Amino acid sequence: MEITPTPALLQERYQIDRVLGEGGMGRVYLARDRRLADRPCAIKEMVDEFIDPRKRHEANESFAREADTLARLKHPAIPAIFDRFDDHNRHYLVMEYVEGHDLDQELALDAQPLPESKVTDIARQLCDVLAYLHGFNPPIIYRDMKPSNVMVTPSGRVTLIDFGIARIFKRGKVTTVGTIGFAAPEQYQGHVDPRSDIYSLGVTLHYLLTKQEFPPMTVPPPVHKLRPGISPGLAGAINRAVCLEPEKRPQTIREFQDILLGRRAMAPTARLPHITANQRPLGHRPVTHSTSAPTVVRRKAPTRPKPPPKARRLVLLAATMAVAGFAVSYLYNAGPQLDAMIKTRLASRPAP
């Protein structure tokens, strides 16, 4: 679809400077808000030139959904929305301009993958924003985590962009598939929950560390086999997150973050209960109940510390002298009685 030129001034307020990006549905512009001290802003444009009425309806619905979703979100890693309007069969969304570049662009700058410290910091920030989204009731599933949707500012702040297919979670509802290669396997069947975002985050971090792509519906090679020096916590969290079965992944984004940062031991990849973000408060750590007999711990009686060898010899000598003194005193006092007793015994014996 060829996109006709956009007016240089929109709503007699927004001055278009240049194109920031372009896709199948429209463009994103850098503009200045002339009404508010030329404040920079990003304007997303969707051109309604569809011939098929069904596709027109889907595109308009997607754009409106993005605006409504962003309008209710307030988080430092999510661009704020300022305005929304229609003009000459086009739909515009005015939002906060995020200076910097996306992770795809950063990876293209160097032949090497990103260093572990940078990936860990990015992962921590993405965990925070996903925990915020999943904390809604019902949770908001982002469902399109990938390097090109993650902006990094010059100061290192991460921003999640493009909420075009983010929807309020409704169990059993057929949903839009995200990006092939990053979308969770269950998304291809129209099923999605917070664990789907955990899978996409794991694939994204795997790619940042290895720059290796793999076909959808296949398990990627373990991180430590491609980069042996990666810490066990980070590698283990990613390896768990990219399991094809949702039950084998971390069940919440906070659980994933705890494993990544070494605050939680990695449980064996057994079938775990289905738990969504609205069933467990953020930051909650489950209490595990053992099915085996309780362990009885017997306490040992406290033992007195042994005196040093020299002190032990002095104590032994004093005790010996005390016993000897007692024996001498006893014999001295009991001597006459013993002498008389002996003589009586001898006198009572018969003569030989």
Known catalytic residues? 144
**SS3 readout for the chain:** CCCCCCCCEECCCEEEEEEEEECCCEEEEEEEECCCCCEEEEEEEEECCCCCHHHHHHHHHHHHHHHHHHHCCCCCCCCCEEEEEECCCEEEEEEECCCCEEHHHHHHCCCCCCCHHHHHHHHHHHHHHHHHHHCCCCCEECCCCCHHHEEECCCCCEEECCCCCCEECCCCCCCCCCCCCCCCHHHHHCCCCHHHHHHHHHHHHHHHHHCCCCCCCCCCCCHHHHCCCCCHHHHHHHHHHCCCCHHHCCCCHHHHHHHHCCCCCCCCCCCCCCCCHHHCCCCCCCCCCCCCCCCCCCCCCCCCCCCCHHHHHHHHHHHHHHHHHHHHHHHHHHHHHHHHHHHHHHHHCCCC
